[in-house]
Amino acid sequence: MCRCCLGCSGEEGSINSKVILNIFYKLSRAVNVDVVVIGGGVAGLSALNTLFTHGVKDILLLEAQDRLGGRVHTIRQDGVLVEEGAEWIHGGEQNSLYRLATKLDAVDTNLPDDAWDHRFVTQDGRLVDSEVYELAELLMNKCKENGMLVPFYNTSYGQYYIDRIQEAYRPGNNTASGKALLHYLEHMVNYEEGTGSWQDMSARDADQFINYGDDHQWQDGYDTLISQLTVGIPDSTMKLSSPVCKIFWDTPDQARVLVVTLEGDTFLAQHVIVTASIGHIRERHKHIFSPELPASLVTAFMAVHLGVANKVQVGWDEPWWGTDPLDLHIIWTTFDLPLDMSWLYGEVNIYSIHRHRGVLQLFVTGANSIHVENLPEDIIKKHVLYLLKRVTGENIPQPTFFRRSRWSSNPWTRGSYSSYITVSGAKAGIHHRDQLAVPLTNSKGKAVVVWAGEHTHNTRYGTVDGAMDTGKREALRIVSLIKSSSSLLPAVEN
């Protein structure tokens, strides 16, 4: 049944006469604004900030949750700062976000590699041949070079690794090591890419991503960026706990878009910027947009999946393994866990978080991730302690800190990162994110709804800097639309 905000009694998304009457009623009471921005994540805030600095000030940002930031969510708990969502600034000078963070003097110096306690061991704590992990590192670095994946364009990203490992472990070589390495790589790649399965992600899409080099950390949390993007913007411009449930983009008043929130607030906007995650859009577009979205756009949206990668953070006041931050890599050579612990097979890297050596972080991806979202906290702790004891051979004290994220259960994200074009999506002809960012044009020929968000960035999808750039891109598009139709709005200041 319909859960939208117009009281329709029929099937999801159905529009009956009662609903049409309701639309006219809401139209007559709606608040007029120049631009509505949907979503207060990095893309939405960047759009808001750009519009503001270009003199478009009659704006309203509607955010579904009771906080800003979206998939940037810094938590300060028990004296520990952890990132539930984004954590690293991926890359240096080429990255607009790195440049901004540097300007704010907010980037931390990276720890030198030899400050870490790196360990490469099997599930039973046996040291792994350096040859094995050197090959793993080589393969992962190689495929980040653009162009390496060209021969695999019609298939998956995972196929590249499978073929390469096949080459390295030809018949007669040690196939057991080959299998163990493949398992390790599969889970490292799923964690880095946030994919449920590396066989699902198009190699062509993976090759579009441009790598900007080494990762960096914020000195005092990723929410430094959220504060920065909102400097000088009046609080009244940003409405929290206001999920948008309907967007009438071709109204009887064809110049404007009617936006309705779950609470029944209504706004008439000249333009709307939608920045909701692709996970949310895929799930809700049929119910939110009226008329329904054009088929070409729906095909593009359905070609892109939002992977699920959750974090589990377990901490102690003092690290029990030694004095240095830990970087533990696990190569699974036997698969003998009790059945209820099978999600642990996906754990191949456990490491200390930034600035808190005593807090260890695990990523859980794909189906395991959704399973762990629903496990009780004490069970997760018990499983993690079992694994750590088995791998390190140490008696481990009870942790004093615990957190686990739930990005899939969150209806406003329905996933974490990366948004990736699937193999079948690529086969259906979706190769670039431009195809997800085609503005909606109403029957008067006016571009009324535009799309931002990390999933719409061609080369930096799945990142914060990508999200930030798309918000700016669409805000500038609107500024130029406004400028070119001076009858719609007063001229903007530059």
Ligand X SMILES: Cc1cc2nc3c(=O)[nH]c(=O)nc-3n(C[C@H](O)[C@H](O)[C@H](O)COP(=O)(O)OP(=O)(O)OC[C@H]3O[C@@H](n4cnc5c(N)ncnc54)[C@H](O)[C@@H]3O)c2cc1C
Residues that bind ligand X (CB under 6 A): 38-44, 62-65, 70-72, 85-88, 90, 243-244, 275-277, 280, 309, 311, 405, 407, 412-413, 416-417, 453-454, 462-464, 467
- Distance of closest approach, residue 240 Cβ to ligand X, in angstroms: 9
Distance CA 194, CA 462 (A): 9
Q: Which two tokens stand for residue 177?
A: 């090591």
Evaluate whether 61 touches 229 at the Cβ level (below 8 Å).
no
- Helices 278-288 and 295-302: angle between axes, nearest 10 degrees: 150
Instruction: State how far the Cα of 100 lies from the Cα of 465, in Å rounded to an integer.
Output: 10
- Give the residue among 239, 268, 244, 237 at the shortest CA–CA distance from 255: 268
Distance between terminal CA atoms of the chain?
48
300 alpha carbon, distance to own chain's centre: 18
DSSP assignment of 23-39 equals: HHHHHHHPEEEEEEEE-
The distance of closest approach from Cβ of residue 373 to ligand X in the complex, given in angstroms and rounded to an integer, is 12
* Min separation Cβ 193 and ligand X, Å: 11
Phi, psi of 132 (to 5 degrees): -70, -50
273 vs 326 by CB, closer to ligand X: 273
List of residues 6+ apart from 281 with CB closer than 8 A = 274, 301
Beta-strand pair 59-62/31-38: parallel
**Least gap, CB of 330 to ligand X (angstroms):** 20
8 Å CB contact between 408 and 370: yes
Closer of 281 and 303 to ligand X (Cβ):
281
Smallest separation, CB 129 to ligand X (Å) = 30
Q: Which is nearer to ligand X, 97 or 303 (CB)?
A: 97
Nearest-approach distance from CB 130 to ligand X, in angstroms:
28
Q: Least distance in Å: CB of 154 to ligand X?
A: 27
Burial tier of 76 (Cβ tally within 10 Å: 0-12, 13-18, 19+): exposed
Q: Which amino acid is at 381?
A: K
Nearest distance from C-beta of residue 412 to ligand X, angstroms = 3
Strands 266-274 and 447-451: parallel
